């Protein structure tokens, strides 16, 4: 397990590919984190991210989000659904925008590499790099929303990720009832893909 923040810049998409990786997507989870909170073990956090991705778009009642996993809404408050990119990891971009993280962990085996980083952000209003893809622009939009919310509420920001799920499935957009429930629960943006 890695716990060194100066390696985030090296965590591009290829760093997460394993011998058994199928597909070419990266899934990331951007959450506000209570500043004094202890994060669960990395395996439990990876499982919570997967649970959220599997269940959140089926919700029509905001109260349902609190039962997805034991870490929502406290200590982790998702700001958007688990999002999927095409062959791109947002971890290096987050470090470019937010600076060095305060905590970083990675777990890897032959089947999966999962990592998270934590920042105590100040407000940012950053723009994506020139010629940024729509996935990169969407991440920068979410990162700005999350940074403003974290700075305003005195919270940290957690970004977690792994090789993802079907990109084409995510292109259909969020179920409208689930999107409304997400906003009522406290998400800042209710879709997995750029709009």
Q: In whole angstroms, what is the distance from residue 173 CA to residue 22 CA? A: 23
Spell out the SS3 assignment of 74-124.
CCEEECCCCEEEECCCCHHHHHHHHCCCCEEEEEECCCCEEEEEEECCCCC
Q: At what angle do helices 134-153 and 91-98 cross, to 10 degrees?
A: 50
Name beta bridge partners: 83: 28
Mean pLDDT of 14-26: 82
Q: Residue 167: its pLDDT value, please?
A: 62
Q: Residue 188: its pLDDT value, please?
A: 95
Distant-in-sequence, close-in-space partners of 103: CB < 8 Å, separation ≥ 6: 3, 5, 39, 116, 117, 118
Element (H, E) at 140: helix 134-153
Residue 1 pLDDT level (bands cut at 50, 70, 90) = very low
Residue-averaged pLDDT of the chain: 85
Highest mean pLDDT pick, 119-123, 165-169, 178-182: 178-182
- List the one residue out of 191, 20, 53, 35 whose CA is nearest residue 102: 35
Q: Residue 3: its pLDDT value, please?
A: 44
Give the rounded percent of residues in the chain with a pLDDT score beyond 70: 88
Say if residue 169's pLDDT is above 70: no
Q: In whole angstroms, what is the distance from residue 155 CA to residue 131 CA? A: 32
Say if residue 108's pLDDT is above 90: no
Q: In whole angstroms, what is the distance from residue 195 CA to residue 84 CA? A: 13
């Amino acid at each position: 397990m890695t716990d060194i923040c100066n390696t985030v810049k090296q965590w591009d998409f290829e760093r997460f590919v394993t011998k058994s990786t199928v597909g070419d997507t990266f899934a990331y989870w951007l959450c506000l984190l209570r500043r004094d909170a202890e994060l669960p073990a990395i395996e439990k956090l990876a499982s919570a991210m997967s649970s959220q991705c599997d269940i959140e778009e089926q919700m029509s009642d905001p109260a349902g989000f609190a039962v997805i996993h034991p870490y929502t809404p406290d200590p982790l408050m998702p700001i958007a659904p688990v999002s999927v990119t095409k062959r791109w990891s947002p971890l290096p971009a987050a470090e470019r925008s937010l600076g060095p993280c305060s905590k970083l962990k990675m777990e890897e085996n032959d089947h999966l590499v999962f990592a998270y980083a934590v920042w105590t952000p100040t407000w940012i209003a950053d723009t994506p790099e020139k010629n940024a893809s729509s996935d990169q622009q969407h991440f920068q939009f979410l990162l700005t929303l999350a940074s403003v919310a974290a700075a305003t509420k005195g919270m940290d920001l957690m970004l977690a990720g792994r090789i993802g799920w079907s990109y084409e499935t995510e292109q259909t957009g969020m179920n409208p009832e689930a999107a409304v429930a997400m906003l009522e629960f406290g998400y800042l943006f209710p879709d997995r893909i750029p709009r």
